[in-house]
A and B are shown apart, each in its own frame.
Chain A
Amino acid sequence: MGRVIVGQPLVPGEAAGQALVTREPLSFWGGFDYRTGEIIDRRHPLSGQIAAGRVLVVPHARGSSTTTAVLLEAVRAGTSPAAILTTGPETFFALAAIVAQEMYQRWFPVVTIDPNDFDSLESGVRLMIALDGTITADESPKVEGRP
């Protein structure tokens, strides 16, 4: 059993994946290629990482209001993150998930977590997200060499 974090589901859903953690906000417009699932903001610490299928842990979206549109394309293309964890209510991510649900009956959960829990998460950890926003972190097999 791993550590349990209690989150608030903004858009509830079940998901699991390896955490991809950043302390820096991210714009998906100009920051994410929905054809490949890669983070392409060359000024961002996660530049070059594949976010598709990962649990993206990011404080909030930054900048352009087109982030939602890019995330909706990612859901359709199957390149979206498995889930997004943020530190506060986040319009851009939640809306993309809600519209994807309306249109494709397919979406990624968006869950807010406490800033202290946020600080405790590191890339590479496997996270499981339950419908009620509970997050289980499986920290046993430590992956070496991750930032």
Chain B
Amino acid sequence: MDVDLTERDRGMLAGDEGAAAARAMRIVVRMAEVFQAASLLDITQAHIDSTIYIGEANLDFAERLVRDGARVVVPTTLNVSGLDEHGWREWAVPADWAEKARRQMVAYEQMGCLPTWTCAPYQTEHAPRFGQQIAWGESNAIVYANSVLGARTERYPDLLDICAAITGRVPAFGLHLDENRRGQVLFQIEGVPQKLQQDDSFYPVLGHLVGKAAGDRVPVIDGLAVTPSADQLKALGAAAASSGNVGLFHIVGVTPEAPTRQAAFAGHAPGQILQVDLPSLRQARQELTTGDGEGLDLVVLGSPHFSLAEFQRLASLLRGRRHPSVRFLVTTSRAVAHLARQSGLLDPLEAFGGQVTVDTCILASPMLPPEVRRLMTNSGKYAYYAPGLLGVQVVFGSLEDCVRSAAAGRVLRDETLWAV
């Protein structure tokens, strides 16, 4: 099937807007063919995940675009890079690696992107609005934009995100279209104590469970007795987009496209109904921890990047000082770090012996020294990816557990909330 192209699309393919735009358009059109999209549609914003330094090929891709005159044509934010641009020397990042990661940062800035360097662009002034067609990369950002904000983006992979930003065009397919946004599988919450539902650590666990069972279907969660905060929804989405292919979820009575269960399924019956009870949640929680024992080298928070509200909550929990054998790290954006500094929220963290890394995270930057073998986190995404990407063991715990463990120098977890 031929994709219906406008005159401008065809001109771009022919090189009217330069060699980089022509290449980007060729890739967009070939992807439209893969998806049998009938046409392309305009986007009004992009978020680029291709910024993470993976290796020579991806750097080569970015620098060739720059050499060929690439410029983004819509407001475009940048995801984490491979490097805390100004603070990487405090960690174990090899200098030659840092040089290449920096070149990749520079390349994307040269294309006219905004140097936001964060995986939580939805918590900046660039957050998209309901119904806006956008092209976002970064799985946790995609799921938040679609589910919580009601903006519309397909799950853009690295490299296609920047092609969309350069052309301003995407295939009309997937989550851009009404018919693909309705719920497909129902997760019915039953017998889960309200006290647990109020706890931050409930949301990464629920997300992990939902993502794993939903696969690439759109999940609908019903039966929540509380209204989750923005940060709780962020944690849920990030975990669901790690364990599954979730690009959009609905929570009945919470997210904007699901005022009712019927609306969430657009009048259709759920393809499958799954019960979420305490035993299944305990199982999911257990899956987020690998290995056993009390050993601990690092506590790490902030995937997705810590928000100002999260810094505020952390500050209220910090007492005394971390154990000398456990490092304590928070990853966030440079903007939020700056606000936290100005608000005095970094003072208790530094008094505790904690550190802040901006622009990147432990998964995107080779920053952890080899002596870090076991880490603890309140992030479902860190817990999911750290064992494979970093070869470390991981313990999932609540924010309180993480702070207590850092002070004690060993893993301490409060099981009360999860007890049957």
Contacts and interface: CB of A to CB of B under 8 A. Distances in A.
A7 B376 CA distance: 45
B244 A62 contact: yes
Contacts of B161: 65
A92 B388 contact: no
A105 B244 CA distance: 32
Interface string B376-395: 00000000110111000000
Contacts of B253: none
B23 A89 contact: no
Where chain B touches its partner, the secondary structure class is: helix
A91 B31 CA distance: 8
A102 B142 contact: no
What band does the interface of chain B fall in when counting residues whose beta carbon is under 8 Å from A?
Answer: 35 or more
Contacts of A96: 157, 159
A98 interface: yes
B54 A66 contact: yes
Contacts of B384: 30, 63
Given A31-B388, A68-B159, A69-B159, A76 B56 contact: yes
A104 B58 CA distance: 12
A65 B142 contact: yes
Most buried by A among B156, B160, B287: B160
Interface residues of A, number: 38
A99 B49 contact: no
A125 B36 CA distance: 31
A51 to B, nearest CB: 14
A25 B60 CA distance: 29
A76 B54 CA distance: 12
A65 B34 contact: no
Interface string A59-82: 011111111111011011100000
Most buried by A among B54, B243, B384, B387: B54
Contact of A91 (B155, B242, B244): B155
Interface string B142-170: 10000000000011111111000000000
Interface in B192-235: 211, 215-216
B30 interface: yes
Interface string A1-44: 00000000011000000000000010001110010000011110
Interface in B275-328: 287, 290
Given A65-B156, A73-B56, A98 B31 contact: yes
A72 B57 contact: yes
A79 to B, nearest CB: 11
Nearest to A72: B57
B91 interface: no
Most buried by B among A41, A66, A70: A66
Contact of B139 (A41, A64, A70): A64
A94 B36 CA distance: 13
Contacts of A103: 57, 60-61, 64
A70 B388 contact: no
B106 interface: no
6 contacts: A62-B245, A63-B211, A64-B241, A68-B157, A91-B34, A95-B27
Interface of B: 23, 26-27, 30-31, 34-36, 49-50, 52, 54-58, 60-61, 64, 137-139, 142, 154-161, 211, 215-216, 241-245, 287, 290, 363, 384-385, 387-389
Instruction: Give the 10 A-B residue pairs with the shortest CB-CB distance, closest first.
Output: A68-B157, A76-B57, A69-B158, A73-B55, A30-B388, A30-B389, A30-B385, A69-B54, A94-B34, A41-B388
